[in-house]
Structures are given as C-alpha cells and as structure tokens.
Amino acid sequence: MAETITIEPITRIEGHGKITIILDDDGQVSDARFHVTQFRGFEKLCEGRPYYEMPAITERICGICPVSHALASGKACDAILGVHPPEAASLLRRLLNCGEFIQSHALSFFYLSSPDLFLGMDADPAKRNITGIIEAYPEMARDGIRLRKIGQQIIEMISGKRIHASWVVPGGVNAPLDAGHRQTMLQMIPEALEIIIRTLALFKKTLDQHREEIRTFANFPTYFMGMVDEEGNLEHVSGRLRIIDAKGHIVADAIDPADYREYIAEAVEPWSYLKFPYYKPLGFPAGIYRVGPAARLNVCNGCGTALADQEWAEFREIERGPLMSSFFNHYARLIEILFCIETMQGLLAEPAILAARVRAVAQPNFPEGVGCVEAPRGTLIHHYRVDEDGLMTWANLIVATGHNTMAMSRGVLQVAKRFITGAKITEGALNRVEALIRAFDPCLSCSTHALGQAPFTIRFMKTDGTILGET
Amino acid sequence: MKIHPRKNVRSDLNPSRLLTFRIDERVVSAHEDESILSVARQNGISIPTLCHLDGLSERGACRLCIVEVKGVARLLPSCVTFPRQDMEIITASERVVSYRKKILELLFTERNHVCAVCVSNGHCELQNLAVELGISHVRYPYLYPRLAVDASHSRFSVDHNRCVLCLRCVRVCDEIEGAHTWDIMGRGITSRVITDLNQPWGSSETCTGCGKCVQVCPTGALSEKGKSVAEMIKRRQFLPYLQMMRGRQDESWPK
C-alpha cells in the first residue's frame, strides 16, 4: 500500500515550505518533493509602478536579504537609465553586501543549523535549537550572536537602517558614507575575524562525524553557477556569471547577466509556487544546476583575499573537482564570511569610499534592464521592462532558492532513501530531511522563520488521498 | 473660471470688530474675519488639518479640523467657521477626536497608501496625522481601487493611489500660478484630480511645469520623477510670500 509522508511546516528555515515523501507498496521511498506553499506575486504587483520604486518594492520581498534585492534591482535600474554609478557608490554597494553576507550567513549557520551540526541530528528535539546551543556551547552561541550583530550594524551604519533602508537607488546610493562610521567599522573587523577563524576551526572538527550526511545531502553530480570577477575570483556584486559542469569544466564563462536567458530557462510544475530554472542547453529536467555558497566556491579560481584563499584551497582539497554534497554549504558559508570581512577591510581602506558623489542621475534611456548579484543563498536576477514614461510593464525575478529547487527535491529523495525505511520512521530521520533543506538555507518568503522546534505533522496518506493516520 | 471672493480689506471705512471668546477654556480675542483655526494656532492651540495650507484659499474638504461649539449640535470645520462674541469652542473633546480618527481611517481605506515604498515616507502629512492621532490600525475594509500612475510629464508624476483629494494642487495652480491646469472630475468616492480635460499631464497645454502643485501636495501623490523612497521632501515656504507678491499686482496688498 502506497503512503505519503508530509513534513509541514519545515522548521528552522526562512519561510514556509513542506516536504512530501511517497512510499511504495513495500514501504520503500519512491519519490520526494519539496514544495513552497505560499504565493506572493511581486512580479505582477509591480506592473504599472515607476521603475525607480523597484529597489524599495523588491527589498520588501525579504527581511534577511533585502540588500541583495535592492542591489539587483538597483543594477537593473542602472541598465534602464544606461548609467554607471559613481565609483564611491559602487564601492559602497559592495561594502553593504559584505554586511549582509556576514549577518545572513551567521543567521543560517549559528541560529538555524548549528543545533543539527553540534548537538547532533538525533538529539532531543526539545534541546535541538538555539537555546540548546546556548546551554551546551555558550561561547559559540555568543560568537554567533555577536557576528550577526556586527553584520547588521555594518548595514545600519552604511544605509541608515538594518532592514529595508531604501538606500540603494537607481544610479547609485542615496547617501555617502560617514567618516566616523568608517572608523567604527574598521574597529569591528579584528573581532569579527577572530570569531570566524575560531568557528571555522570548530566546524572542521565536526566534519568526520557527519560523513553519512555528507554522503547523502544532495550528493550527486549537477552543474554549478556563480559569479566571478575578471580574474575568475569570487565576487558577489559586480562580476559576471560562470557555469561549470559536474567535473569542474567551465561550460560558459563571463556571461553578461543581461544575456541570462540564453543560458537559463524556467519550467513550471503544478505542485509548487516556485519556478524551476534549468540550464537551457541541457533542457528540463536534465539541466539541473546549483547555486549558493558551495557552488560559488566550486566555480571560482579562488577568493582573492589572503585568509579566505587559504581556507578555499583547503576546502577544495576535500574532493577532486567540484564538491558535490550540499552539506558543504555550511563550510562554504563560513569561508564566505571570512572573505566578506577581508573584502570589507579592503573596501574601507579605499580613499574614494568617502566621496560625496554617490549618484548618477538620468532619465530612463532603455526599455529593458537586467540586474544580477550573488545573494547569500545564490544568484539573484532581476529583469525589468518599462514603457516610455518609465512605468513597469513586466518583471521577472529569479531568486537563489529557485535555481536550487530541483536539487533540493532530488536531495530530499536521496536523504529519505538513506534514512527512511518502511514503517520505522525515526524523528532523527525526518530531521535529516529537514536538515538537508536547511543546508541550502532556502529563503522561501524570507519574512518569517521558526525558532527551534515548531510543531510539524507527519501525515500518512493513501494514494487516493485518504489519511491513514497522523502523529 | 471661478472668481474667488477676496477677503474684506480692513480700512477706516470698513473696520473689523474685535471679539472675545473661549477656545479650550482659554479666553482669546481676535478680529471677526479670522477663522477659528487661525485664531487657535495664533494662541498655540493645535488643530490637525490636511486640506488647509497657509497661502491658499480655504476649502473645508478634509473635515479634520472639526471642533465642538457649545450650543451647536453639529461639529464645525474650524478653517471655514468664524468666531462670534462669547463663543465657547472645544478643539479636542473625545467626540471630536473619535470623528477625526474615523475620517483619517476612511481616507486610508479609499486609496492604496503604502508608506513603505512611498516617496514621501517620513515627510507625509497624512502619515504624520495618523501618528499624531495614534492610529494603529484601520477598522474599515480597504477598497483597493485599481488606480494608474500618470508619468507622462517629463519631470513630475501623479499617483492617484496616494491622493486624498485635498485639492491643494487645484487651488495653487488656479490661485497662485494662474494656470488652472488641475481640476477635479467625478463625484464622491470616484472623484479624481485631472489635468486639463482629463488628458495625460505630459500633453497638457496649460501646465507651465512650475511644480507648485508637487510642493503643496500633502502626500506622495504628486512627486518629482526619479525620487526614491522617503526622498521627496516638499518645500512650501514660498507660498505666503508668493501670495503676497502676486496680491500686490492686483492691488489687494495694502500700500
């Protein structure tokens, strides 16, 4: 008798999602799906609005990575205006992005995933949360909270507000950097570096305990996509896209994000509100690819900053070619925090960063614009069309979680097959399914996230939909 | 075009009487041709307003300045009500405040006011009033009308979603600029401000592009194009001076 296991809602992620696992007659896992159960409709509701409202409208998509939406939107608007932001604005946008990566990655690692990583996948669910971490590893909990705070304070000092600052505007940013704030930020760097180096060392020690998770957390060959700079090094804001295959060969390089449609197409499935982007030359669903922290470290030639480069080299030593397991996203997140702290140091040392000229002014000169950045969770693309008066006629947004949907669904299947067998379904097994999703750190609506153990129900269903039982 | 009645000019032949009356238990004195609103403000008593703007004619449209007058059952708009000898006026009774809140809540339900993405966020008179009156939520269902943005003008845009029909734009364009580009069409809840004969602003033949309407608009309905959220800070200081200088031309300014 075929059954369906539903995990809803998935806890300790950003937003609301659900997992269904379908068991065949013998109780073996036959299929699994990851669903996003909410619909928000930003692409439609912005139609008719002036293009220059888009950074503010789209940053409201998310409370954790609003900076990424504002930056992608700002860049799409730059393209509509046909301007290059002044040098200081470009530097400040990159600086702001560093603050966001630090706080967002810290949230994902310390608040959401560290309970699984340090207390154990099978630990008592009542303890397997951030308060459990505070009890067991008070030092690390304090580090995590402090690091996230540093990231948030950096965002606030640059843009005036921790979230939804509306500071990124078409053509640049709306206020220059205060010299006093620059000094305060520089003073924060040594502490942030200490925290991240300490955490990296701690995390690397746990890798051996997670061999089974590494082996099964979406560990299969796919393509990877990420942004790199002119030298092929890791870049989050102003680079070009690179796609590699499962062996690590570059299949497309220096892609101008404006041409993304030549490489990426989107499919739709009736069971999820997420769209399914795929690598166009391979078709759907063969063109599965992944984005995000591990994908970025897989595609780049290095980080381009001293300490992060060492960590990157060690990271890439783990496997020959690209690292396939999505479990390594946790590792990559820590390396990216290190990279961002070092990048910040470099940016703050630039004399031009204090310049007062931070905005290029123009009328809309082009009917279409694409903006692309690396958000903490992966590549983010904003694509707008406007009419002659500059009012939006059409928008397409591809968010990181979208790129990863196919990989997440297949990853759920892989984990379920390994840990769920027949009637015996342990809490730890279901937590591993959730932990796989957490490794991707999906941003489903980015508006809420459950702290600790929210109630989730497992539903056993016949194929005709009748509910056999609920736990 | 409507000719606005000029205020009676005080002179030896036409003296205005001085009256004594009470506002909120305070004895005040004023000329008979000064509105209750004006007298209250001179005496440091604040009454919330939205459609009123120093330098423009009174309209009495928003009803936020309503006050209670002893012996009168109705609430009266203080901007267009004049004092009488020994009148007793209460500006902030429970009844008055509850009506003001209702009026403001209804304004919010009529159009699509989304502060978070508005150019006037933080500098908006409607928003400030809501804060002042402590409006934390709206008790009536929102209407969510489908309203367009007219961005056909090269420098300015009008977003009807944010319009409260105070008609300051209509008055400033007519009374100060003298162009009368703005007007109003429709009735009641379907009313809209229009440019010329309801044609796109950019194709208006009468608009001089002076931008006074944008500066006097209390919300983000009229704004300069390209401004981002919270960047539209309006300056209205010029109005009383401009009114005085233009008044000199038609000799209503005492020499």
**Helices A427-440 and A329-349: crossing angle, nearest 10°?**
30
- Is some CB atom of chain B closer than 8 A to the CB atom of A164? yes
| Beta carbons of A138 and A118 less than 8 angstroms apart | no
Rounded alpha-carbon distances, angstroms, from residue B15 to B11, B57, B255: 6, 22, 17
- Is some CB atom of chain B closer than 8 A to the CB atom of A53? yes
Which residues in chain B are closer than 8 Å to A391, comparing Cβ atoms?
A: 149, 151
Give the CATH number, domain containing residue A204: 1.10.645.10
pLDDT band at B245 (very low <50, low <70, confident <90, very high): confident
Which residues in chain A are closer than 8 Å to B202, comparing Cβ atoms?
A: 389
Per-residue pLDDT at A465? 52
Q: Judge: A391–B152 Cβ closer than 8 Å, yes or no.
A: no
Q: Can you tell me which residue has the tokens 């013998």?
A: A26
Instruction: Choose among A100, A63, A162, A70: nearest CA to A341.
Output: A100
* Number of Cβ atoms within 10 Å of the Cβ of A394: 14
Judge whether A270 lies within some domain: no
Q: Which of A7-11, A281-285, A424-428 has the highest mean pLDDT?
A: A281-285
- Is some CB atom of chain B closer than 8 A to the CB atom of A203? no
- Minimal CA separation from A296 to chain B, in Å: 32
| Beta carbons of B199 and B185 less than 8 angstroms apart | no
- Is some CB atom of chain B closer than 8 A to the CB atom of A170? yes
Judge whether A164 lies within some domain: yes
CATH 3.10.20.740 fits B18-92, yes or no: yes
Q: How many CA atoms lie within 13 A of A291 on its CB side?
A: 30
Per-residue pLDDT at B7? 56
Domain count, chain A: 2
Q: What are phi and psi of A290, to 5 degrees?
A: -125, 150
Together in a domain, A90 and A204: yes
Together in a domain, A29 and A177: no
Per-residue pLDDT at B240? 85
Q: How many CA atoms lie within 13 A of B164 on its CB side?
A: 28
Judge whether A349 lies within some domain: yes
CATH 3.30.530.20 fits B104-248, yes or no: no
Together in a domain, A456 and A334: no
- Minimal CA separation from B152 to chain A, in Å: 6
Which one-letter DSSP state was computed for residue A449? B
Question: Has residue A423 got a pLDDT over 70?
Answer: no
Which residues in chain B are closer than 8 Å to A60, comparing Cβ atoms?
A: 116-117
Which residues in chain B are closer than 8 Å to A83, comparing Cβ atoms?
A: none
Comparing A119-123, A142-146, A381-385, B110-114, which segment has the lowest mean pLDDT?
Answer: A119-123
Give chain B's length. 255
- Is some CB atom of chain B closer than 8 A to the CB atom of A174? yes
Together in a domain, A122 and A200: yes
| ipTM associated with this complex | 0.87
Which residues in chain B are closer than 8 Å to A63, comparing Cβ atoms?
A: none
* Number of Cβ atoms within 10 Å of the Cβ of B234: 18
Question: Has residue B133 got a pLDDT over 50?
Answer: yes
**Helices A329-349 and A306-317: crossing angle, nearest 10°?**
160
Which of A48, A49, A174 minimises the CB distance to B231? A174
Q: Can you tell me which residue has the tokens 């269903």?
A: A461
Together in a domain, A211 and A334: yes
Which residues in chain A are closer than 8 Å to B119, comparing Cβ atoms?
A: 53
Region B221-243: mean pLDDT is 92
Region B217-229: mean pLDDT is 96
Query: Is the bond into A115 cis (omega within 30 degrees of 0)?
Result: no
Task: For residues B114 and A49, give the distance between their C-alpha atoms in angstroms, rounded to a whole number.
Answer: 12
Rounded alpha-carbon distances, angstroms, from residue B149 to A92, A361, B194, B201, B221: 32, 21, 12, 11, 9
- Minimal CA separation from A69 to chain B, in Å: 14
Q: Look up the domain containing A123 and give its range.
A: 84-217+325-361
Q: Write down the pTM of the prediction.
A: 0.90
Question: Has residue A22 got a pLDDT over 80?
Answer: yes
Judge whether A224 lies within some domain: no
Together in a domain, A116 and A205: yes
Residues 6+ apart with CB under 8 A from B164: B50, B62, B107, B111, B126, B218, B219, B221
Question: Has residue A219 got a pLDDT over 80?
Answer: yes
Task: For residues A331 and B123, give the distance between their C-alpha atoms in angstroms, rounded to a whole number.
Answer: 45
Instruction: Choose among A382, A406, A378: nearest CA to A276.
Output: A406
pLDDT band at A460 (very low <50, low <70, confident <90, very high): very low
pLDDT band at A433 (very low <50, low <70, confident <90, very high): confident
Together in a domain, A352 and A429: no
Region A152-175: mean pLDDT is 95
Q: Judge: B230–A55 Cβ closer than 8 Å, yes or no.
A: no
Rounded alpha-carbon distances, angstroms, from residue A250 to A133, A254, A371, B189: 41, 10, 23, 61
And the tokens for A162?
Answer: 């921790």
Task: For residues A250 and A264, give the distance between their C-alpha atoms in angstroms, rounded to a whole number.
Answer: 16
Q: Can you tell me which residue has the tokens 């933080």?
A: B122
Q: Give the domain ranges of chain B.
A: 18-92, 104-248
- Minimal CA separation from B232 to chain A, in Å: 12
Together in a domain, A191 and A95: yes
Region A5-12: mean pLDDT is 76
Together in a domain, A345 and A426: no
Nearest CA in chain A to B121: A166
Average pLDDT, chain B: 92
Q: What are phi and psi of A284, to 5 degrees?
A: -105, 135
Which residues in chain A are closer than 8 Å to B116, comparing Cβ atoms?
A: 56, 60, 164
Task: For residues A198 and A208, give the distance between their C-alpha atoms in angstroms, rounded to a whole number.
Answer: 18
Rg (CA), chain A: 22
Judge whether A126 lies within some domain: yes
Positive or negative, the CA dihedral A203, A204, A208, A213 is: positive
Per-residue pLDDT at A457? 43
Question: Has residue B127 got a pLDDT over 70?
Answer: yes
Which of A50, A55, A166 minimises the CB distance to B149? A50
